[in-house]
Structure 1
Amino acid sequence: MLKEIRPALVLVVLLAALTGLAYPLAMTGLAQVLFPDKAKGSLVSRNGMVIGSALIGQAFTSERYFHGRPSATTAADPADATKTVAAPYNASNSMGSNLGPTNPALAERVKADLAALQAENPGVPVPIDLVTTSGSGLDPDISVEAALFQVPRIAKARGLSPDMVRQVVERTAEDRTFGVIGEPRVNVLELNLALDRIGGQS
């Protein structure tokens, strides 16, 4: 019996070592050599301190900064582990909202966000990505239109001219990947760092 089982056991151990150890180590090593920045998480530093990643969004709430897309990620409720609580941009729990378009909770949240944005910039259409979550809940980018929509608020909060803030958006904007994939976009963290470099009143 052992004679019949031995080849299967050897094959299982060999494949586990190959696909579970050798292959991941080889790919990790190759990535470190070919794409060192991306392999380390595309971390962004300021004054020698890591302040975020170019790949994961953050919750900017100050009027002085550009805001990203809403995030539907959650975390365990500290008071009751069987429940969850909202935890925007929780990188350990990438997820979108599973609420359908007819769900009252989703409709109320979108309606409240829309009203707040319309009050912030009256008479200007609100870009869809400022009221909808992405599939991952971690999207670090917004559309160029969503960034330009926020220019008046930021210019007022920082005491800068709208033209100056608009130029920061235009300088930071990225084109479609390879010129054809996706839409032009702006990385919110990079945009806010560029904004800090030009300053403005606190």
Structure 2
Amino acid sequence: MSKVSIGLRGWRFDEDELFDGDGFRSRSEMDDDTRQRLERLPLLLGQPCDVCYLSDGDDDATPDAVYGEPGAEVLVCNAHEPTFYYWFLEAGGDEHEGTAALQDAFHEWVAAGNREPDWYGGPEHVETDPDAVPDPGPDTSQLAPGEPVPVTVDLPEDEQAKLDLLEAADFDGVSDDLDIDADYPTSDE
């Protein structure tokens, strides 16, 4: 069984856990940790590198790697991956391994001005297809058990249903003497 990274380096998935002969396995067939990480990936791809953001306020720096637990991730670009590795392997960051505290501890270390020394090179990686990110579908992490998974289907415009929200609204119990033209105080008054 081989391990793969999807979209961002760092999180490693067992190939057999993710895929069957037809592509992605059903989420119900995946263990909870794999499902959570897979569903978080699309959200993380739009976030900035933590070090770039914390040190320079740069929210456009695209991350290349993700470390930590779902919901408390550390995102780093190629230039700052050695910063994370140094902190984790040499500066005591490994004490937070597997905990939600990893993100906060790393952020505090970076915000205090700490970085890896110039001699520290960090890891080397082999990438086969870094731009091919499969879409696992909607994030179900906020759904209650048994709640149906929302599905978005893109239809051509001519096949989309036209909805009249006023027609569908239930106005029973709404007073007929509402004064819509009344002037109400605002926060700047």
| Range of TM-score over shorter length | under 0.3
Q: TM-score, normalised by structure 1?
A: 0.23
Q: Which has the higher helix share?
A: 1
Q: TM-score, normalised by structure 2?
A: 0.24
